Amino acid sequence: MSIKGYADYKRREFCKDVKCPVQLEMDAQIEGSFEYEKIRQTCKTNCRYTTYQFHHWLIGKGYLIIRPEK
């Protein structure tokens, strides 16, 4: 859900910005191909970056993490 006047995080924006070597390998493949999906498994199970790094990248880029009140 987008908020008017704000940009949403785009899929793999962090990975591309930090020039993750796994992302660079994926970019060289056709999305959805066998090789692409094989490389993508590294992202799913053995990411080279931590949530701490990702969170601080988000802050540095001015992203806000929000959720609706209960």
Q: How far, in Å, CA of 16 to CA of 43, rounded?
A: 13
Domain around 47: 13-60
Q: Considering the domain boundaries, does residue 67 fall inside one?
A: no
Q: Considering the domain boundaries, does residue 65 fall inside one?
A: no
Q: Considering the domain boundaries, does residue 69 fall inside one?
A: no
Q: How far, in Å, CA of 34 to CA of 62, rounded?
A: 35
More confident residue, 3 or 26: 26
Q: What is the pTM (predicted TM-score) of this model?
A: 0.82
Domain count of the chain? Answer: 1
Query: What pLDDT shows up at residue 26?
Result: 95
Q: What is the mean pLDDT of the chain?
A: 93
Q: How far, in Å, CA of 70 to CA of 66, rounded?
A: 12
Q: Considering the domain boundaries, does residue 33 fall inside one?
A: yes
Q: What is the pLDDT of residues 9-38, one digit of tens each?
A: 999 999 999 999 999 999 999 999 999 999
More confident residue, 39 or 68: 39
